[in-house]
Structure 1
């Protein structure tokens, strides 16, 4: 499988709803590829859809795995993970995922090296929104750990919120979950995936309000 958007120095904006579903190695599991480096065994970011009753063979996660459950209930031998669950499985973990009724996931593979990473399993629906760094912003922190560059959170923008112009050392990645996120470069409705490279600069805002998954650092 060829590389796709593999250069982390390039800005990428994708309407994930417009991308084709492509088969995975497991029947009943399809994906919309967002970025990939190194074929099936390489770094990948995808939207993954499991049909009802679909399963994936047991496998390990060299360089880790990160999942946000977008809809349905994702499961493995360790438990059931409904929509809104955030998972980070560090290197060395292993599981056999499946779903009973179907689910859709945002998945990042081989991008979380380091055996000292903490394993994370959060029901984000049960988390409180905390005050953000500017009026109109509220945050649900998902992952941050000393010694690692990433900071991951859900961020809610109230209608009419504006944020100051700023730079992203280590880059920034966004998946728009609800509403419309915006900056001076464009307007990004729900389902948009953005990757802004190291030292990129923008002035974000949201006229109607939105909720985004956002990761800063590590790019």
Structure 2
């Protein structure tokens, strides 16, 4: 089994782009659970972001979230002892919580561990397929998922041909492209691409075709 990398992309002053569709799946400690690491402090602890795949019937043992867990269900149905969460679900398990996740039919999730502020204690369960989009700047549609202190997480839908104003990211920006293709002056990012941009970075994004992204801002340290 290939070892999980340590100290992966932990210099928060650097921009990172990962085309996760091109990554190989790595085995986890649990049979039937596979991972694509995006950023990671230690092999099985600390600040971590990953794409995780559960094969049908796979289970993960009960574990705690010392500084929280944030999940976006990409496909299939993710489950734990509190419920079933289909594709398009957004979950937050606060610091000190625990659960025993599994998937009956299989699923893929985007998961972030140990990145909450210690006082961010709200548990969140949102099925975005049942939520209303709100108008954003220009032709954008926005669905807010969570806000705490300077940190904000949202879905943003871009109509074909939309161009956004140049802007700067205080506290950084992190994007997972869910569908379509996100573009800026630095590159083109198809579905499955994960981007992290540091504190006070700038860009002018746009799209050529309809695109949806999961975006988080204001959560990155100013330095590593």
TM-score grouping bracket, smaller chain normalisation: over 0.9
Deviations 1:153-178 (A, max 9, x none): 00000011111111001000000000
- What does 1:173-188 correspond to in 2, within 5 Å? 173-188=174-189
In the alignment, is the contact (CA less than 8 A) between 1:19 and 1:32 conserved in 2? yes
Cα separation, 1, equivalents of 2:93 and 2:177: 23
In the alignment, is the contact (CA less than 8 A) between 1:181 and 1:209 conserved in 2? no
Residue 209 (structure 1) shift: 2.0
Cα separation, 2, equivalents of 1:175 and 1:140: 15
- What does 1:162-201 correspond to in 2, within 5 Å? 162-201=163-202
1:37 aligns with 2:37: no
Give the aligned length: 216
1:121 aligns with 2:122: no
> Which residue, 124, 142, 164 being the options, matches 1:139?
142
Residue 149 (structure 1) shift: 2.2
Deviations 1:94-137 (A, max 9, x none): 110001010000000000131442111000111111101x2110
1:6 aligns with 2:7: no
Where does structure 1 lack aligned partners over 5 or more consecutive residues? none
Match of 1:104 in 2: 108
In the alignment, is the contact (CA less than 8 A) between 1:44 and 1:108 conserved in 2? yes
Match of 1:81 in 2: 85
Cα separation, 1, equivalents of 2:157 and 2:116: 25
In the alignment, is the contact (CA less than 8 A) between 1:136 and 1:161 conserved in 2? yes
Cα separation, 1, equivalents of 2:125 and 2:42: 28
1:67 aligns with 2:71: yes
- What does 1:202-213 correspond to in 2, within 5 Å? 202-213=203-214
Where does structure 2 lack aligned partners over 5 or more consecutive residues? none
Cα separation, 2, equivalents of 1:126 and 1:89: 20
